[in-house]
Amino acid sequence: MENQPSSAENMLCAPGYPETDPRVERLVNELIGRVADKWTLLILELLEARGTLRFTEIGRAIEGISQKMLTQTLRQMERDGLLTRTVHAVVPPRVDYALTPLGNSLSAAFCGVWMWAERHLDAVEQARAAFDVGR
Protein backbone atom coordinates (compact mmCIF):
# COMPACT_ATOMS: atom_id res chain seq x y z
CA MET A 1 0.00 0.00 0.00
CA GLU A 2 2.90 2.40 0.58
CA ASN A 3 3.46 2.73 -3.19
CA GLN A 4 -0.15 3.74 -3.76
CA PRO A 5 -0.74 7.47 -4.32
CA SER A 6 -2.90 9.19 -1.75
CA SER A 7 -6.39 10.29 -2.72
CA ALA A 8 -5.08 13.87 -2.77
CA GLU A 9 -2.36 12.87 -5.27
CA ASN A 10 -4.97 11.07 -7.39
CA MET A 11 -7.08 14.22 -7.42
CA LEU A 12 -4.11 16.33 -8.48
CA CYS A 13 -3.64 14.10 -11.52
CA ALA A 14 -7.32 14.03 -12.42
CA PRO A 15 -8.35 15.95 -15.56
CA GLY A 16 -10.51 18.92 -14.76
CA TYR A 17 -9.29 19.23 -11.18
CA PRO A 18 -10.43 22.73 -10.20
CA GLU A 19 -6.93 24.17 -10.15
CA THR A 20 -5.74 22.55 -13.38
CA ASP A 21 -4.48 25.03 -15.95
CA PRO A 22 -6.24 24.26 -19.27
CA ARG A 23 -2.89 24.63 -21.03
CA VAL A 24 -1.46 21.86 -18.83
CA GLU A 25 -4.44 19.62 -19.62
CA ARG A 26 -3.95 20.27 -23.34
CA LEU A 27 -0.22 19.49 -23.12
CA VAL A 28 -0.86 16.27 -21.17
CA ASN A 29 -3.40 15.17 -23.79
CA GLU A 30 -0.97 15.94 -26.61
CA LEU A 31 1.92 14.16 -24.89
CA ILE A 32 -0.16 11.09 -24.09
CA GLY A 33 -1.21 10.93 -27.73
CA ARG A 34 2.37 11.33 -28.89
CA VAL A 35 4.03 9.06 -26.39
CA ALA A 36 1.27 6.48 -26.71
CA ASP A 37 2.51 6.27 -30.29
CA LYS A 38 4.78 3.24 -30.21
CA TRP A 39 7.43 4.86 -32.41
CA THR A 40 7.97 7.76 -30.01
CA LEU A 41 8.30 5.39 -27.05
CA LEU A 42 10.74 3.18 -28.93
CA ILE A 43 12.87 6.15 -30.05
CA LEU A 44 12.89 7.53 -26.49
CA GLU A 45 14.01 4.16 -25.15
CA LEU A 46 16.65 3.72 -27.85
CA LEU A 47 18.22 7.16 -27.44
CA GLU A 48 18.11 6.83 -23.65
CA ALA A 49 19.96 3.51 -23.84
CA ARG A 50 22.44 4.25 -26.62
CA GLY A 51 22.89 8.02 -26.63
CA THR A 52 23.41 10.05 -29.80
CA LEU A 53 22.57 8.12 -32.96
CA ARG A 54 22.44 8.77 -36.68
CA PHE A 55 19.15 8.67 -38.56
CA THR A 56 20.10 5.41 -40.26
CA GLU A 57 21.14 3.80 -36.95
CA ILE A 58 17.76 4.63 -35.44
CA GLY A 59 15.99 3.25 -38.50
CA ARG A 60 17.93 -0.01 -38.36
CA ALA A 61 17.44 -0.42 -34.62
CA ILE A 62 13.65 0.02 -34.67
CA GLU A 63 12.13 -2.90 -36.49
CA GLY A 64 9.22 -2.11 -38.78
CA ILE A 65 9.46 1.68 -38.88
CA SER A 66 9.35 3.21 -42.35
CA GLN A 67 11.68 6.04 -43.32
CA LYS A 68 8.67 8.35 -43.66
CA MET A 69 7.34 7.48 -40.18
CA LEU A 70 10.80 7.81 -38.66
CA THR A 71 11.20 11.26 -40.22
CA GLN A 72 7.76 12.41 -39.02
CA THR A 73 8.29 11.08 -35.50
CA LEU A 74 11.75 12.61 -35.15
CA ARG A 75 10.49 16.00 -36.42
CA GLN A 76 7.62 16.02 -33.94
CA MET A 77 9.92 15.02 -31.10
CA GLU A 78 12.32 17.82 -32.11
CA ARG A 79 9.43 20.29 -32.23
CA ASP A 80 8.37 19.24 -28.72
CA GLY A 81 11.92 19.79 -27.46
CA LEU A 82 12.49 16.10 -26.72
CA LEU A 83 15.54 15.71 -28.93
CA THR A 84 18.12 17.67 -30.85
CA ARG A 85 18.93 17.23 -34.51
CA THR A 86 22.49 18.03 -35.53
CA VAL A 87 23.33 18.25 -39.24
CA HIS A 88 27.01 17.81 -40.06
CA ALA A 89 28.28 19.48 -43.23
CA VAL A 90 29.99 16.42 -44.67
CA VAL A 91 29.55 14.30 -47.77
CA PRO A 92 27.52 12.16 -47.53
CA PRO A 93 25.32 14.20 -45.17
CA ARG A 94 25.25 13.05 -41.56
CA VAL A 95 22.45 13.84 -39.11
CA ASP A 96 22.65 12.94 -35.42
CA TYR A 97 19.83 12.79 -32.90
CA ALA A 98 20.14 12.98 -29.11
CA LEU A 99 17.69 13.38 -26.26
CA THR A 100 17.50 16.76 -24.59
CA PRO A 101 17.16 17.04 -20.80
CA LEU A 102 13.42 17.37 -21.46
CA GLY A 103 13.45 14.14 -23.47
CA ASN A 104 15.47 12.39 -20.77
CA SER A 105 12.95 13.42 -18.13
CA LEU A 106 10.03 12.15 -20.24
CA SER A 107 11.88 8.90 -20.84
CA ALA A 108 12.37 8.52 -17.09
CA ALA A 109 8.69 9.23 -16.46
CA PHE A 110 7.61 6.50 -18.87
CA CYS A 111 10.15 4.05 -17.49
CA GLY A 112 7.41 3.20 -15.01
CA VAL A 113 5.32 1.74 -17.85
CA TRP A 114 8.14 -0.67 -18.72
CA MET A 115 8.62 -1.60 -15.07
CA TRP A 116 4.87 -2.18 -14.65
CA ALA A 117 4.84 -4.38 -17.77
CA GLU A 118 7.73 -6.46 -16.43
CA ARG A 119 6.03 -6.93 -13.04
CA HIS A 120 2.60 -7.74 -14.47
CA LEU A 121 3.37 -9.57 -17.72
CA ASP A 122 2.23 -12.98 -16.45
CA ALA A 123 -0.99 -11.58 -14.95
CA VAL A 124 -1.87 -9.74 -18.17
CA GLU A 125 -1.17 -12.81 -20.29
CA GLN A 126 -3.33 -14.95 -17.96
CA ALA A 127 -6.16 -12.43 -18.09
CA ARG A 128 -6.01 -12.30 -21.88
CA ALA A 129 -6.01 -16.09 -22.15
CA ALA A 130 -9.00 -16.36 -19.78
CA PHE A 131 -10.84 -13.71 -21.77
CA ASP A 132 -10.08 -15.39 -25.10
CA VAL A 133 -11.31 -18.78 -23.84
CA GLY A 134 -14.62 -17.19 -22.83
CA ARG A 135 -15.18 -15.76 -26.30
DSSP letters, 80-119, are TTSEEEEEE--SS-EEEEEE-HHHHHHHHHHHHHHHHHHH
pLDDT in tens, the chain (135 residues): 444 444 434 444 555 555 667 777 777 777 777 666 889 989 998 999 999 999 999 999 999 999 999 999 999 999 999 999 999 999 988 999 999 999 999 888 777 777 888 888 899 999 999 999 987
pTM: 0.69
Q: So where are the chain's domains? A: 37-134
Predicted local distance difference test score (pLDDT) of residue 6:
42
* Residues 19, 99: Cα–Cα separation, whole Å: 31
* Residues 43, 78: Cα–Cα separation, whole Å: 12
Predicted local distance difference test score (pLDDT) of residue 15:
53
Predicted local distance difference test score (pLDDT) of residue 109:
79
Angstrom CA distances, 10 to 7, 16, 74, 105, stand at 5, 12, 32, 21
CATH 1.10.10.10 correct for 37-134? yes
